[in-house]
Structure formats: C-alpha cells, structure tokens
C-alpha cells in the first residue's frame, strides 16, 4: 500500500485489474461522501445506501472516466444523480432527520446554547432548496472548488457561484429571523 | 468592481481561487467599502459556524469490494491442483504400464487383461521364432511339388500332336481351359496358405508358444 498514491494512479491500477486499489479509493473518500449524503438527505440509512451504490456504480463504470484526476468529482456526481433519483420517489425520507424537532417552530426564542445554534444552522441548511443545499455542502463542508462543483452538479461555474451566494443570503436571513428581539 | 461583484467573490477570495487581477480589484474595493468589509467578516464567520455545526461521522458500514485477487487466487489454486492431479494420474498409469506390462488377450467371448509379470513377459522365444525352420522347409517343399506337378501337366498338353480336325481343336481348347483352371486353383491355394501363415504368425505373437503348433496343421488341412 502506497499512501502517497494519487487518485489517478489508483484509478489506473484498478483499470489494470487490481480491485484492491479501488478499496484504497473507497477508504480515502468514503467518509467524505457519506457525510455529504448524510447532510443532504438527513437520513443515515439512505445516505449509507446511496454511498454504497455510488461506489459500486463508480467501480462498474470506471472505464468511462475520462479525466482520472477528477475521480472524486465524478464519484460525487454519481452520488448527486442517485440523490436526484431518490428525490423523484413518492416516499422521500429526505430532510426529516436533518431538522430536529421543534427547532424551526420557535422563532424569536432566546437560544444562548451553542448546541441550539448548531441545530438551528442544520435546520436552515435542511430547509434550503436541494440545489442550493448541495452547493453549500460541497463548498463549506467538503472544500470543493467551483470548477469541481460545476462538474459534480453538471452546471456552469457562474450558476454555482450565484447559487452559493443565494444560499448564504437565505441562511443569513434565517439567522436574522431566529435572532431574539433584544439582540436585533 | 461594485459591491455585488465583491460579495459574489467572497468565497473565492477566502479560498484563494481568484486570479491576481481579481484579487487586486477585490482588495482595493475592500479598502474603500466598509459595508463589503463587514460582509466579508459575516461570510467568514458564517462559514466557520456552518462547518462546526455539523461534524463529520464515520460511515455505519464500511464499503469494500471483495478483492479480485483473492478470487482469482482461489480459482487459480483449484485449477492448478486439478491440472497437477490429472498429470500425475496419467504419469502414474504410464509408469504402471511400463513396470507390469500387462498381457491383453481378446477372445470372441471375452477380453482379459493379465497384470501378472510372469505371464506378461515374453517367454523364451520371440514372435518371429514362432514359425520353425522345419515348417518353412515343409512349405517350400510343398510349393516346389506343386510347381513340378503344374509343369508336368503343361508338358503333357504340349507334347500331344496337333490335328486340324474340329474334334482335336475342341479337345485342345478343353485342355487349355483345364490348365487355366488348375493354375487358378493353385494360385488360390497359395494365397490361402499365405493368409493362414499370417494368421498363425499374429496368433503366435499374441498367444505365445501355446499356439505355435497351429500353422502346420491349419496349412496342411487347407491344402488337402
């Protein structure tokens, strides 16, 4: 095992028939992908299922990957497309677990506790439009650059930027609404 | 650069993704616009708050592919074992054949294989010696006598006086036909004798000395 191997080298090894190299890719990106899906769906089981399905599809379709440097963007794109497929289902369990009980239904109440602030922010993220939420999660939590996000979301870079700006404005506005009257 | 442009670049500026020209413009605008400086501080604070609001977790069930190496090794091991076992079986069979030299006897009623070393080995004589010299001499003598008899018959017919009468002509044709018939019979007999000799030779080669008396009797019987 070579810990300094790049994604490109690992992908080439997988394409040469070494499945163990793919396990190294999984080991490298599994935590990131799972947490992205968990934050996006708010459902651990669903996030786990989509994560595994994304890795499986990426392994099966790995030969179709043109730019091997962009493996992780391609992997997240597969996961995002799987999320879109899940969203089309009638019994969609998304966004339920991301919003804790009662947090969003008490505007103006004083919350000095740091834990409640965290829950409020989670709640605001969960209430974002799915496209805006993806942009915030990819940028803030996973540190993707705009060109990578454009690949993942299959959108122009300018669209991604404007979505991020809009998402931040909505979150800020939500925080303003949650702020107690004495503080405003 | 106006305030809207500046605020859309806040995230890129924080991540260092702007070009040098854009960075210069951004910083210049920051120096002259207090509202945008405040917006940058708010943005950065919000990013930190968001990041800390939702710490990462470990996946519940780690996903790993079954490595193809293990699979191929297992299949390869099985294949190599089967191949080695079949090779060893063939080699052992050949070795047994060389060591024991089984005698295979085939009769019209049964096929028997004898693995006894004493029976399987050839006895004192080789198959070529199954036909003795006396038998060969007898065959040559018989052939010589036949040839002599045939020559006598020809001489008798040739010594008869020629006549121009129709009855003499017919009798000569009859005599020629008789000679031809005799020659055909002799050639058939010789051919049959050869067939018998080859049969006896093959039989003696398989059965050994026990069948070696057959050629004389058979050939004599057929000749009669």
> Which DSSP string do the residues of A120-132 spell out, in sequence order?
HHHHHHHHS-HHH
Residue A105 included in any domain: no
CB A152 within 8 A of CB A138: yes
| Claim to verify: residue B138 and residue B217 sit in the same structural domain | yes
Q: Is residue A184 part of a domain?
A: no
pLDDT-derived band at A115 (thresholds 50, 70, 90) equals confident
Instruction: Verify that B175 and B144 share a domain, yes or no.
Output: yes
Report yes or no: A22 at the B interface, CB cutoff 8 Å. Answer: yes
Of residues A20, A165, A168, nearest to B69 (C-beta): A20
One domain for residues B135 and B176: yes
Note whether residue A162 is domain-resident: yes
Residue B67 lies in a domain: no
**Range among A80-94, A132-146, B200-214 rated most confident:** A132-146
Does B211 score more than 70 pLDDT? no
Looking at per-residue pLDDT, the higher value among A49 and B116 belongs to: A49
Interface membership of A160 toward B (CB under 8 Å): no
* Residue A20 pLDDT exceeds 80: yes
Same-domain pairing of B154 and B192: yes
- Same domain, yes or no: B144 and B209: yes
The answer to whether residue B212 scores a pLDDT higher than 50 is: no
Q: Which domain holds residue B136?
A: 127-223
Give the pLDDT confidence score for residue A184 in this predicted structure. Answer: 43
Interface mutation target, options A22, A165, A179, chain B, most CBs of B under 10 Å:
A165
Beta-carbon separation of A35 and B56 below 8 A: yes
A162 touches chain B (CB under 8 A): yes
In this structure, the answer to whether residues A151 and A74 fall within a common structural domain is no
Q: B141 with B115, same domain?
A: no
Q: Report, as an integer, the average pLDDT of A26-42.
A: 91
Task: Mark whether A14 and A79 lie in a shared domain.
Answer: yes
- Is the CB of residue B215 less than 8 Å from the CB of residue B202? no
> What are the residues facing A102 on neighbouring strands?
none
Q: What is the mean pLDDT of residues B10-35?
A: 85
| Higher pLDDT among residues B91 and B107, named by residue | B91
Q: Is the domain of A156 the same as that of A78?
A: no
Q: What is the mean pLDDT of chain B?
A: 75
Q: Are A6 and A73 part of one and the same domain?
A: yes
Contacts of B51 in chain A (CB under 8 A): 140-141
Cβ contacts of A122 within 8 Å, gap of 6 or more: A98, A99, A100, B53, B54
* Number of Cβ pairs < 8 A linking chain A and chain B: 87
B146 is a domain residue: yes
B103 and B135 in a single domain? The answer is: no
Tell me the mean pLDDT in the region B196-210: 70
Q: Given this model, what pLDDT does residue B117 score?
A: 56
Q: Of B46-55, B168-177, B199-208, which gets the smallest average pLDDT? A: B199-208
Residue B44 shares a structural domain with residue B114: no
Q: What pLDDT, on a 0 to 100 scale, did the predictor assign at position A112?
A: 56
Query: What are the backbone dihedrals phi and psi of residue A142, each rounded to the nearest 5 degrees, phi first?
Result: -120, -5
Domain of A79: which CATH number? Answer: 1.10.1740.10
Same domain, B145 and B211: yes
Query: Where does B43-182 show beta strands of DSSP type E?
Result: 103-106, 111-114
> Number of folded domains in chain A?
2
Structural domain contains residue B84:
yes
Whether the pLDDT of residue B3 is over 90: the answer is: no
Residues 101-140 of chain A whose Cβ lies under 8 A from any Cβ of chain B:
117-119, 121-122, 125, 136, 139-140
B17–A122 C-beta distance less than 8 A: no
pTM equals 0.55
Q: Which residue in chain A has the smallest CA separation from B68?
A: A19
Give the residue from A89, A123, A144 where a domain finishes: A89
- The predicted model gives B115-140 an average pLDDT of 62
Chain B, 191-210: which have a CB under 8 Å from a chain A CB? none
In angstroms, the separation between the Cα of residue B6 and the nearest Cα of chain A is 11
A14 lies in some domain = yes
Which residue of chain A is at minimal alpha-carbon distance from B51? A141
Q: What is the mean pLDDT of chain A?
A: 82
- Residue B131 near residue B209 (C-beta atoms within 8 A): no
Q: What angle do CA B1, B5, B7 make, to 5 degrees?
A: 120
**pLDDT-wise least confident of A81-90, B109-118, B125-134, B189-198:** B125-134
- Residue A135 reports pLDDT greater than 90: yes
Question: Does any CB of chain B come closer than 8 Å to the CB of residue A34?
Answer: yes
Whether residue A165 lies within 8 A of chain B, CB to CB, comes out as: yes
pLDDT-wise least confident of A21-35, A50-64, A153-167, B101-115: B101-115
Residue A164: burial class (beta carbons within 10 Å; 0-12, 13-18, 19+) = buried
Q: Do residues B174 and B87 share a domain?
A: no
What does the pLDDT read at residue B222?
42
Q: Are residues A55 and A9 in the same domain?
A: yes
What residues make up the domain containing A70? 1-89
Q: Which residue of B has its CA nearest to A55?
A: B63
Q: Which residue has the higher pLDDT, B13 or A134?
A: A134
Answer yes or no: is B196 within a domain.
yes
Closest alpha carbon within chain B to A60:
B65
Average pLDDT over residues A54-67: 90
Counting the structural domains of chain B, the total is 3
Residues A134 and A81 in one domain: no
């Amino acid at each position: 095992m070579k810990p300094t191997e790049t994604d490109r080298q690992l992908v080439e090894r997988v394409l040469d028939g070494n499945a163990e190299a793919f396990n190294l890719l999984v080991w490298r990106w599994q935590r990131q992908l799972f947490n992205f899906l968990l934050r996006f769906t708010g459902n651990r089981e669903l996030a786990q299922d989509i994560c595994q399905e994304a890795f499986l599809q990426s392994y099966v379709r790995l030969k179709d990957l043109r730019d091997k440097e962009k493996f992780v963007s391609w992997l997240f794109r597969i996961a995002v497309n799987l999320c879109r497929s899940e969203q089309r289902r009638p019994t969609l369990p998304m966004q339920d677990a991301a919003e804790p009980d009662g947090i969003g239904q008490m505007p103006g109440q004083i919350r000095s506790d740091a834990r409640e602030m965290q829950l409020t922010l989670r709640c605001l993220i969960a209430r974002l439009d799915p496209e805006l939420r993806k942009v915030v999660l990819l940028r803030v939590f996973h540190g993707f650059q705009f060109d990578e996000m454009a690949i993942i979301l299959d959108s122009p870079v300018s669209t991604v930027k404007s979505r991020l700006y809009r998402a931040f404005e909505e979150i800020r506005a939500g925080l303003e609404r949650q702020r107690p009257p004495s503080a405003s | 650069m106006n305030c809207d442009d500046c605020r859309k670049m806040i995230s890129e500026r924080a991540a260092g993704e702007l070009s040098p020209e854009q960075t210069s413009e951004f910083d210049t605008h920051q120096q002259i616009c207090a509202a945008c400086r405040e917006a940058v501080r708010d943005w950065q604070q919000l990013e930190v708050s968001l990041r800390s609001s939702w710490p990462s977790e470990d996946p519940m069930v780690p996903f790993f592919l079954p490595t193809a190496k293990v699979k191929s090794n297992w299949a390869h091991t099985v294949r190599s074992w089967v191949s080695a076992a079949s090779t060893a079986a063939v080699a052992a069979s050949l070795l047994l054949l060389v060591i024991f030299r089984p005698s295979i006897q085939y009769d019209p009623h049964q096929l028997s294989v004898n693995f006894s070393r004493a029976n399987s080995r050839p006895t004192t004589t080789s198959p070529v010696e199954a036909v003795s010299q006396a038998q060969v001499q007898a065959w040559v003598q018989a052939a010589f006598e036949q040839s002599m008899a045939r020559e006598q018959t020809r001489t008798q017919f040739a010594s008869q006086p020629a006549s121009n009468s129709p009855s003499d002509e017919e009798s000569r044709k009859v005599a020629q036909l008789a000679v031809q018939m005799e020659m055909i019979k002799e050639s058939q007999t010789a051919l049959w004798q050869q067939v018998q000799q080859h049969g006896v030779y093959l039989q003696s080669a398989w059965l050994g000395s026990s069948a070696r008396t057959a050629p004389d009797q058979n050939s004599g019987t057929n000749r009669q």
